[in-house]
Chains A and B, each alone.
Chain A
Amino acid sequence: MAGYDIITLEENCTGCLRCQLACSYLYTGLFNPSAARIQVRFSGTGCAIDFTDECNHCGVCADSCFYDALKKVKREDDE
């Protein structure tokens, strides 16, 4: 299955949650940030972006990010 590694650049993240909206809509049919396989968390001025075990590396979250906080890199074993 095609797949990407998602590189996170947390310093660019604005917390817009477009990634969580996109992931949840794709896999649950509803916009539901809590159901996304990517979770963005802010603490103080910092930000942490994590993926759940269910993430299948489809890259849709990265496509929906406007701020260059997520970059997708094609996995080598897909060649």
Chain B
Amino acid sequence: MQGGFAGRILHVDLSRRKVGTWPLASNLAESFIGGLGLSFRLAHDYITPGTDPLAPENPVVIGAGPLVGTDLPSTSRIYAVTKLPTSGTIGWCGAGGVTFGCLFKNAGYDHLIIEGRADRPVYLNIVDDRVEILDAQKLWGKGVSETCETLWDEVSGPAGVLAIGPAGENRVSFSLAYIDRSATMGRGGFGAVLGAKNLKAIMVRGTKGVGVADRKTYKRLKTDFLQTIQSYPYLKEWQDMGMLKAFPMVPPETYKKIKKRRLACISCPVGCKDVVEIADGPHKGLVAYSSSAINLLTPLMYGFKDYRDAVKLIAELDEYGMDMFEFFGVAALAAKLGEHGSIQGINIALDDLNAMMEWAEKISFRKGLGDVMADGFSGMINAYGDAAKTYAPALVKNMHPYTGPGSALPWDLFGTMELGQILDLRGPHVGSGGSPTYFAKRPLEVFPKHLKRMGVPEAAISRILPESDESKQLNVGILLKYSHQWFSILGSLGVCARGQINRFYNAGLCADFYKAVTGIPTDLDELSLRADRVWNLYKLLNVREGVDRSRESIPDQWVQAPGFKEYVSETPISRDEILRMIKDYYREQGWDFETGYPSPETLSRLGLESLG
């Protein structure tokens, strides 16, 4: 392979303590782009249908795309594909890879496949060709930051670390993995999958370098592209404020008081990650690393009064390694069951730091009621039956969506992220797929520009934005199909999908970069076709697991007051309207709405017959 790809797959069998490598087949790389797409393809070979997500047989496939390790902006992204415990579906987990992806590529690998279960806690130490399965007894029970720091202290020079906290070790259904202690990965229990393998961490260092096939074209394309970013009028503001620019949860003065440093994943000119330090009060001196300061402030949305308490709690959840939305959702449900007498003798004050710290610990270590809460909403429903169902928030694939009635974020317009909560097979997550409907309401006039950028064909643009006599409309179902295609492109290349950076990319440029870096002939049409193949294979992986349309049910709360609102008219949305969007999505994908399968014509167009 000429450039971009390291050309090797690393395979680790934890049960047999065996490590092997083999070459990446170039025809596979070409057909599935790389990164996310190739991870789905490898997962198809390695996942045996019907596997229990927490069984040793459930493999984890990690991938870094062909642009990861280059200096194209924000090409830091890593993905994992595995069967996730909360949804029971095969899902993707993604993270802005900080240094991990680049160093993994520099060690000489594109993918890592982990199988089996170690007989005691271990971590993987990857240094170029040397791959060791080492004892992690000393790390077990430690928090995420502490784990990263302990490993960093043992080596000189930069090392990428993917680690889980006690929540993952104890298989909490909403535990996450963390990269370099500041990026989160895998809502839906990726932490638990690693914990069930007794795998505490993966540390990677590499010195082999990542090459470019066509250096001249690369330079030309990159120079123009960097200039576009440099001249973006809001760049400085994004760099200074990060996600607080989009969600001003605290006044800028408050943020400035705690802001210690902004962090960026490798190659990223925007840098949305944060290091904060509490300047005064009882938590004075507390340092927290986060995927974003807004995460650290989320408890304010649940009634916390003091931002410093909010930071303290989230820093603690990050140490345990668990998802804050699910944590608050499950705690709120337990509180209601307490109020209504289904659970005796508990008092869960969602707005109280000490109370929530106590519950975080009980859940992470599965103490008392924490043991039930650790199994998430389905654990609570199993234990408390109809009462839990009555008081549970809107659930999609057993998880709590970020937006919508009863969710943390007060966003109630129904766009692609909202429909995507149902139609992405992994369940609710925060990925936007780069669609313009993400959070800020934009006028329909600006949509064509964004849609062209995402590589949506002209004919589809007129279906997404149909003109009628009375009003302009937006077809969210068809738009979601192309959002998934755009996301497949970004994910497979290794470009960060966050809005603040993917706004600079366009699909044609992605094809040009891919061709220049890898030397694989690619134009926009070919890249779009391969991206479709990637998303269809994701569907097929789940069809093979028996995941059918019954898993796409619409929560009642979404269509009852206060409910979601239609994106353009802002009138309450009905179940029928959402159902129509799902049908539109299926039709645009070439999937059969009745059976839930990709049609034979679609599979043949994509050359996926043999995998269907």
Contact = CB atoms under 8 A, between A and B. Distances in A.
A32 B128 CA distance: 12
Given A14-B271, A67-B271, A28 B209 contact: yes
A32 B208 contact: yes
Given A45-B260, A66-B239, A67-B271, A18 B71 contact: yes
Contacts of B82: none
Interface stretch (B35-43, B262-270, B380-388): B262-270
Interface stretch (A19-27, A49-57, A71-79): A19-27
B262 A14 contact: yes
Given A14-B263, A32-B106, A45 B277 contact: yes
A30 B211 contact: yes
B263 to A, nearest CB: 5
A16 to B, nearest CB: 4
A58 interface: no
Contacts of B211: 29-31
A18 B269 contact: yes
Contacts of A31: 69-71, 102, 106, 209-212
Given A30-B210, A32-B210, A45-B275, A14 B267 contact: no
A75 to B, nearest CB: 25
Q: By CB atoms of chain B within 10 A, which of A17, A18, A44 has the most? A: A17
B99 interface: yes
A64 interface: yes
Interface string B477-508: 00000000000000000000000000000000
B2 to A, nearest CB: 13
Interface in B194-220: 205-212, 215
Contacts of A15: 99, 263-264
Interface string A37-66: 000010011010000000000000000101
B209 A35 contact: yes
B126 to A, nearest CB: 14
Nearest to B207: A34
Interface residues of A, number: 26
Contact of A21 (B70, B158, B261, B263): B70
A3 interface: no
Contact of A34 (B206, B215, B239, B277): B206
Interface residues of B, number: 36
Contacts, number: 86
Contacts of B263: 14-15
Nearest to A32: B209
Contacts of B212: 31
Contact of A33 (B102, B230, B275): B102
A24 B103 CA distance: 14
Nearest to A43: B152
Contacts of B268: 14, 16
Contacts of B348: none
Interface in B264-322: 264-269, 271, 275, 277, 287
Contacts of A45: 260-261, 275, 277, 287
A22 B262 CA distance: 21
A21 to B, nearest CB: 4
Contacts of B345: none
A21 B105 CA distance: 13
Given A28-B209, A31-B209, A34-B157, A21 B267 contact: yes
Contacts of A16: 264-269, 271
Interface string B361-400: 0000000000000000000000000000000000000000
A17 B267 CA distance: 6
A41 B153 CA distance: 12
Given A16-B268, A45-B277, A67-B271, A22 B71 contact: yes
B287 A21 contact: no
A29 B207 CA distance: 13
A1 B369 CA distance: 71
Nearest to A11: B261
B269 A66 contact: yes
A22 B263 CA distance: 19
A67 B207 CA distance: 26
B71 A34 contact: no
Nearest to A40: B158
A18 B157 CA distance: 16
Contact of B71 (A25, A44, A47, A67): A25
A11 B260 CA distance: 9
A18 B260 CA distance: 21
A22 B229 CA distance: 17
Contacts of B208: 30, 32
Which 8 A-B pairs have CB atoms at the shortest separation, nearest pair first? A30-B209, A32-B209, A16-B264, A14-B264, A21-B71, A66-B269, A14-B271, A34-B207
Given A16-B271, A30-B208, 4 more contacts: A18-B71, A31-B69, A31-B211, A34-B207
Interface of B: 69-71, 99, 102-103, 106, 157-158, 205-212, 215, 229-230, 235, 239, 260-269, 271, 275, 277, 287
10 contacts: A14-B264, A16-B269, A18-B267, A30-B208, A31-B209, A31-B211, A33-B158, A34-B207, A45-B260, A47-B261
